[in-house]
Amino acid sequence: MTSTVEGILANYAGETPGVIGNLRRLMLHGRLGGTGKLVILPVDQGFEHGPARTFAPNPAGYDPAYHAKLAVESGCNGYAAPLGFLESIAHEYAGRIPLILKVNNSDTLGGPESPISALTSAVPDALRLGCAAIGFTIYPGSEHRNVMYEQLRNLIREARDVGLPTILWAYARGKMPKEAETSVDVIAYAAQIACQLGAHIVKVKPPTGVVWQEAAKKAYESIPTETLEERIRHVVQCCFEGKRIVIFSGGASKGYDAVVDDIRAIHAGGGFGSIVGRNAFQREHGESLKLLSDIMEIYEGA
C-alpha cells in the first residue's frame, strides 16, 4: 500500500470493501503500481470495428493470447476485453493481471445516429473469469442514452454487491457532428454524467479546444482551454474535483510522437492515466512494448 493510492481510495469511502479492494488491486498492480496512475490495455476493437481493421496492421493480434501477454509483459495495471477474448485466456492469466470484462459492445454494421451497445455478458461472467472490474459504454447524445443509463444503474448495483467496481467508457455520440464528440464541453459533460451515474473509473477521449454547445459558450469564456493540458485539468475538475479516477483513451491510430505528446499533456493536466488500445497493439511487438514503456515512464515522473 502507498499513501498516494490510499489518498485516492479515501474518496471512495462509501463503497463496499470488495469494490475498494479491487480498485486497490488495479492501482497496486504492474509497473505503475502504487503511483496512483493507471495504464490499461483494452482490446474490444475487434467487436467494435471489425477484425481486419483492428488486427491486420499486426496480425499477431488475431490471437487473443497475444494481447494478454502484451499487457503482462509491458506491466499494465489491467487488461480489458469482451467475453470471448477473456474466456480464451482467463485460465492462464486470471491472477497474473487484473482482468476487466467489457459487458456491453456494439458493431459498426448499423447506422451511427442512434447508437446503443448490446449487453454481451454479465456480472456472473466477470466473477467466473476472476475479473477485478466490469466495463460498460454509454453514448451521451444518443436518443437511446436513457436506456443505457438505466441498464448501467442496475449493473453497477449488481457488480457492487459482489465487490466489482465499474469502469465507464463515456463517449458522446449520436445526432451531433464528429467535432462535437471530442469538444471540451461535451467531453467534460460526458465525464460528469459518468460520475453521477456511479462510475468508479471514468474513461473519456482527450478533448479538443472546440466548444460545441451554444448554451455552454458563455461559461467557457472564463475557463482556460487553449492547451490540451488545460483541457485535461478541466475534465478532471468535472469529475468531482478530481475525487473520481478519470483516464483518457489513446484515440484513433496516430504517430508515435503524437501519442507520447498527448500522454505528457494528460499527465501534466492531472489525469490519472491512459487506456491505450490500437495505438499500442497495432504496432510491431517491440515497438508496442517501447511505447507502453515510454507512456509509463511519463506517468512515473513527478
Contact criterion met (CB below 8 Å) for 139 and 192: no
Q: What is the CA radius of gyration of the chain?
A: 18
C-alpha to C-alpha distance for 278 and 43, rounded to whole angstroms? 8
C-alpha to C-alpha distance for 4 and 35, rounded to whole angstroms? 6
| 175 given a catalytic annotation | no
Q: Which of 37, 69, 102, 203 is catalytic?
A: 203
Output the CA–CA distances (angstroms, integers) from residue 140 to 34, 44, 143, 181, 295, in the order listed: 33, 20, 8, 9, 29
**Beta-carbon-side half-sphere exposure of residue 40 (alpha carbons within 13 Å):** 31
Contact criterion met (CB below 8 Å) for 265 and 299: no
Q: Which residue has the cell 483492428?
A: 54
Q: Is 13 helix (H, G, I), strand (E, B) or coil?
A: coil
Nearest to 155 by CA among 98, 230, 103, 109: 103
Residue 301 parent element (H or E): none
Distance of CA 187 to the CA centre of its chain: 13
Contact criterion met (CB below 8 Å) for 272 and 37: yes
Q: Which residues partner with 203 through β-bridges?
A: 169, 247
Q: Please name the amino acid found at residue 139.
A: Y
Active site residues: 203
